[in-house]
């Protein structure tokens, strides 16, 4: 699948991508790193040897947004655009979806699930060909997009609380909390499972993520009532809304571990996608592939 139209507003001198936010750099790197530890033997050794590449390149898709205007839509899908039973009507595969809604519409409202499916196929092919560079790039990318699919605000039009008077909530949920508490998150160990239908899996992930949106918004409203403006916000920097550590901690408590749970699920799912691609490629021996480092 290739997309045609960038989802961007071009203002004098700057380009603002609609809903082009993404999980913070810290969280993306952490998720890819954690996922390496979810891969079972005999594939584990390969990923462990390449853990630095997989970690560093976890954020490449976000960097790409700055140079490629078609990249923005890959990071989200506004599920709420597709009616009250979106998961019953949205086709699993790009071709069917494009036929039903047009490529323009899909690009406008986000293409995240199809991007995961695209890279899963690419990774499977790369394993078949034992193409090290593509294996690594596809693995890092899958890590990125699968992680984005675990962020509730990547699934709705109200992606930054801008429709409910909660501007700034996007980075609060996906960056501030994990940056403050990520080092305490438990690691995962082995246990990746084979996905019979990876395309169905990404849609199930999105269904679960989307179901969390009301809690994400309601809890922030609730917590907000206990804070004055100066207790809630730090002075903004580079036009970015910043929250006080006390507010970040209070919101995290109100979410009852949701951010950690989503991050850990991301890592587990990423290793499942990697492992599945390798199995579907016929379990090639990758132990002798020359490492990048
Ligand atoms: Zn992203």
pTM: predicted TM-score of the whole model, two decimal places: 0.91
Residues 257-271 have a mean pLDDT of: 96
Which pLDDT score is estimated for 19? 39
Q: Which residues of 20-45 are buried (b: 16+ CB within 10 A; e: fewer)?
A: bbbbbebbbbbbbbbbbbbbeeebbe
Q: Is the pLDDT confidence value at 14 over 60?
A: no
Which pLDDT score is estimated for 8? 41
User: In which residue are the tokens 């954690």 written?
Assistant: 34
CA of 75 to the centre of ligand 1 (A): 5
CA of 227 to the centre of ligand 1 (A): 31
Residues 6+ positions from 214 with CB-CB distance below 8 Å: none
Q: Is the pLDDT confidence value at 10 over 70?
A: no
CA of 147 to the centre of ligand 1 (A): 8
| Per-residue pLDDT reduced to its tens digit, 188-245 | 887 899 999 999 999 999 999 999 999 999 999 999 999 999 999 999 888 889 999 9
Task: Please calculate the CA angle 211-217-221 and round it to the nearest 5 degrees.
Answer: 150
CA of 85 to the centre of ligand 1 (A): 25
Which pLDDT score is estimated for 17? 39
Which pLDDT score is estimated for 188? 84
Q: Is the pLDDT confidence value at 126 over 70?
A: yes
The mean of the pLDDT values for the chain is 91
CA 267 to CA 124: how far, in whole Å? 19
CA of 29 to the centre of ligand 1 (A): 12
Residues 235-264 have a mean pLDDT of: 94
Q: Considering the chain, what percentage of its residues have pLDDT values greater than 70?
A: 91
Q: Are 195 and 272 a contacting pair, CB within 8 Å?
A: yes
CA of 285 to the centre of ligand 1 (A): 31
CA of 66 to the centre of ligand 1 (A): 12
| Per-residue pLDDT reduced to its tens digit, 147-203 | 999 999 999 999 999 999 999 999 999 999 999 999 988 888 878 999 999 999 999
Which CATH class name applies to 8-280?
Answer: mainly alpha
CA of 62 to the centre of ligand 1 (A): 5
CA 120 to CA 113: how far, in whole Å? 11
CA of 54 to the centre of ligand 1 (A): 15
Exposed/middle/buried for residue 189 (C-beta within 10 Å: 0-12, 13-18, 19+): exposed
CA of 245 to the centre of ligand 1 (A): 24
CA of 59 to the centre of ligand 1 (A): 8
CA of 58 to the centre of ligand 1 (A): 9
Which pLDDT score is estimated for 262? 96
Please report which confidence band the pLDDT of residue 21 belongs to, taking 50, 70 and 90 as the band edges: low
Q: Both tokens of residue 23?
A: 């999980």
| Per-residue pLDDT reduced to its tens digit, 52-84 | 999 999 999 999 988 998 999 999 999 999 999
Q: Is the pLDDT confidence value at 18 over 70?
A: no
Residues 82-111 have a mean pLDDT of: 97
Which pLDDT score is estimated for 189? 82
Q: Are 32 and 62 a contacting pair, CB within 8 Å?
A: no
């Amino acid at each position: 699948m290739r997309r045609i139209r960038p989802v961007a507003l071009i203002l004098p001198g700057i380009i603002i991508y609609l809903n082009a936010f993404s999980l913070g750099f810290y969280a993306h790197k952490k998720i890819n790193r954690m996922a390496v530890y979810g891969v079972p033997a005999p594939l584990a050794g390969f990923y462990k040897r390449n853990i630095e590449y997989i970690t560093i390149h976890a954020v490449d898709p976000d960097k790409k947004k700055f140079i490629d205007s078609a990249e923005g839509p890959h990071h989200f899908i506004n599920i709420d655009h597709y009616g009250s039973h979106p998961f019953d009507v949205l086709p699993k595969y790009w071709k069917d979806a494009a036929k039903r809604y047009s490529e323009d519409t899909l690009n406008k409202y986000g293409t995240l699930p199809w991007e995961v499916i695209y890279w899963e196929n690419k990774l499977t092919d790369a394993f078949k060909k034992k193409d090290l560079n593509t294996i690594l790039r596809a693995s890092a990318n899958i890590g990125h997009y699968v992680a984005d699919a675990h962020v509730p605000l990547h699934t709705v039009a109200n992606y930054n609380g801008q429709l409910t008077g909660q501007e700034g909530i996007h980075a609060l949920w996906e960056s501030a909390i994990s940056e403050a508490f990520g080092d305490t998150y438990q690691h995962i160990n082995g246990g990746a499972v084979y996905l019979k239908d990876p395309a169905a899996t990404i849609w199930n992930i999105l269904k679960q993520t989307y179901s969390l949106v009301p809690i994400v918004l309601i809890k922030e409203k609730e917590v907000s009532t206990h804070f004055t403006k100066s207790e809630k916000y730090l002075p903004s920097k580079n036009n970015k809304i910043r929250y006080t550590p006390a507010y970040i901690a209070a919101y995290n408590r109100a979410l009852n571990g949701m951010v950690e749970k989503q991050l850990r699920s991301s890592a587990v799912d990423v290793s499942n996608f990697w492992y599945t691609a390798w199995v579907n490629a016929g379990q090639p021996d990758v132990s002798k592939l020359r490492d990048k480092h």
